[in-house]
A and B are shown apart, each in its own frame.
Chain A
Amino acid sequence: MPAYFEGRQLVTPGDLIAEDEYIAGENTYREDNKIYASRTGLVEYENKKVNVVALRAFYIPKLEDIVIGTVVEVGFNGWTVDINSPYQAILRASDVLSRPFKPQKDDLSQVLDAGDLVVAKIVAYDRTHDPQLTVGEPGLGKITRGEIVKITPTKIPRVIGRKGSMISMIKQETGCQIILGLNGVILITGKNLEDEQLAMMAIHKINEESHTSGLTDRINQMLKEEKKKREEIKNEPKI
């Protein structure tokens, strides 16, 4: 029943993590009853299941995922969207327009042009087909304002925190609205640029220190200190 690593220890690809009755989870693989790591990351035990929380990975589309993508190409009956993954996504014109799509009449680049950002949901994807997106639900669609932060997709759960503790704390402290794209792209919209920058700072810090413990408290502290500092600068008498 041996396990060679403790929880939260750093492993590199090929490290033998555990043997026999353990179950190979994320970023691990089993060969001859032995479980090895397949990515650099931190070991995590879930009862008998062994996961490696990758420190560096890319996004693989999954049904129902909310993602944030950039339009890269306007086609004849839809758009090609870069969703920060090995596969480019397709967004169909008939999905965006609420009426029937007529190629002779409708100019697609008027609706969405190359470079535009969209919040979308993945509605179809498998090994043989590129992912297909939809924007036909509340909260989805073109992004008109806000700031974009990109992080490693595997760190999104860390930004959410346990039962959403981290994300709700950041929202509360900065007063910003935050949309998490599961592909590692985060949209922050606040009342002013300063609030947005504060939230961005917090997320960058999470990205860099995701593998340390007690992060929520430290982020909270950092945000409070930063707010105080900015307050002081504002209140300084102007000469």
Chain B
Amino acid sequence: MSQKSEKLIDKKGLRLDGRKPDELRQIKIEVGVLSNADGSAYIEQGKNKILAAAFGPRELHPKHMALPDRTVLRCRYHMAPFSVQERKSPAPSRREIELSKVIRESIEPSIFLEYYPRTGIDIFIEVLQADGGTRCASITAASLALADAGIPMRDLVVACAAGKVDDTIVLDLMDTEDKIGTADVPVALMPNLNAITLLQMDGILTLEEFENAVNLAMEGCRKIYTLQKEALKTKYVDVKEVEE
């Protein structure tokens, strides 16, 4: 671990893929890509390729899961067998089950669940290609899919990670940095309400480093938020041009 980590940031202060420490990967977001889902979104963040679909609110099956006072939000995060170098078994792994829960809990505060009692909202996230930071990209895409489905929300949720690599705090870690770096801090944010809905940490950081990492991640979130918003609007802009 320690011998390799010397190379993660070169003498010029650039990372393995030539990014500066506080630079995001290339991001491309599209909304409304699936016609059979109520709402959908696709995100490419660096080499990550993730598809999210949202359904509902709709009648919940099995019915005994329904709650009398609010909607049940369900979420499935799944990685395709071909999403990583070595074939991944398509059965949900322990990690995927945990991530499903983590993503659900980071999105739950943004939805007005009490509006539609006795119903269910489903989110399906399919990771087509993974390269670190999939939970963050998944949250960004899932939130867009919900907005596309016309589900009333307090705010969009956007997520981004920061971490420590070679004694430097860096933004938006990719797979190698995540694996051999010192720490990883994913943060999900509701940008307009300035509320954090997810905060995790993997690795060791001093208090000061942690604070810097969270601030950097939040800054990254706000950058992604502008792209996220633009993607949501683009769906309707084409029609707007007809006006002229």
Contact = CB atoms under 8 A, between A and B. Distances in A.
Interface of A: 10, 12-16, 27, 29, 31, 36, 38-40, 54-58, 60, 86-88, 127-128, 152, 208-209, 211-214
Interface of B: 38-39, 56-59, 68, 110, 112, 116-119, 147-150, 152-156, 190-193, 229, 232-233, 236, 239-240, 242-243
Contact of A16 (B68, B148, B192, B232): B192
Q: Is the interface of B mostly helix, strand, loop or mixed?
A: mixed
A58 B190 contact: no
B239 A86 contact: no
15 contacts: A13-B155, A14-B154, A14-B155, A14-B156, A29-B112, A29-B154, A36-B154, A38-B153, A54-B150, A56-B39, A56-B150, A57-B150, A87-B59, A88-B59, A211-B240
A86 B154 contact: no
Contacts of B242: 209, 212
B169 to A, nearest CB: 28
A128 B147 CA distance: 26
B192 A14 contact: yes
Contacts of A211: 236, 239-240
A203 to B, nearest CB: 15
A13 B154 contact: yes
Given A86-B58, A86-B119, A10 B236 contact: yes
Contacts, number: 86
A12 B229 contact: yes
Contact of A39 (B117, B150, B236): B150
Given A12-B156, A14-B192, A128 B68 contact: yes
A156 B147 CA distance: 20
Nearest to B152: A38
A213 B119 CA distance: 36
A58 B243 contact: no
A36 B190 CA distance: 13
A158 to B, nearest CB: 13
Contacts of B116: 60, 86
Given A86-B116, A87-B119, A40 B239 contact: no
Interface centre among A14, A39, A208, A214 (most CB of B within 10 A): A14
